[in-house]
Structure 1
Amino acid sequence: MIPKAAHPHGNVTLSKSSQASRDRIYSRTFALNLRSHGAKAFYGT
């Protein structure tokens, strides 16, 4: 998701760990949005 350019230091380990934590945050946010708006409203069915 995050382009390499976003990690100017080029630390692979740091990039991977921050990528993983970002993914967790995005997943949690997505789940919260889904719960608050409702699956039917979200998917437009």
Structure 2
Amino acid sequence: MEKLDIELIGRKVRKLREESGLTREQFCETNINISVKQLMRIE
């Protein structure tokens, strides 16, 4: 996967999280089993 593709995925994840009205902490607790730090790297 190219860097551009990874950045696009990160932007989409952030957009969906924000549209859901969730903080990073809430998103990690309720939807996926990763740490906030990992989510920050993705976004």
Q: Mark the structure with the bigger radius of gyration.
A: 1
TM-score by length of 1: 0.45
Q: Report 1 or 2 for greater relative contact order, CA contacts < 8 Å, sequence distance ≥ 6.
A: 2
